[in-house]
Amino acid sequence: MPPQRQLPRQKLGEAAKMAGVSAQKIRHDERVGLFPVAAHAESGCRQYADKDVDRLRFITMLESARP
């Protein structure tokens, strides 16, 4: 079996910057169930893959379209 490729991961602040939201918003969205709880590094820091950042952008777009 070929070795599993590690996906690039960003810390909370970097993911927030890439998605155009605050770190506080990501934590809130996790708390209320809008966004799945992130993977954690051994250090306990949240880590986000590119697909997570895309999902954050999508959630933000949907929220901005609300009347």
58 domain-assigned: yes
Whether the per-residue pLDDT at 5 is higher than 60: the answer is no
- Evaluate whether residue 2 is within a structural domain: no
**19 three-class SS:** helix
Split into its structural domains, the chain has a count of 1
CATH code: domain of residue 53: 1.10.1660.10
Domain assignment of residue 3, yes or no:
no
Structure tokens at 41: 């590094």
The pLDDT tens digits of the residues spanning 17-54 come to 999 999 999 999 999 998 888 888 888 899 999 999 99
Does 60 fall in a domain?
yes
1 is a domain residue: no
Q: Which residues of the chain form beta strands (DSSP E)? A: 9-11, 39-40, 46-49
Dihedrals phi, psi of 65, to nearest 5 degrees: -85, -10
38 inside domain: yes
Q: In this structure, is residue 23 part of a structural domain?
A: yes
For 33, the token pair is 């169930």
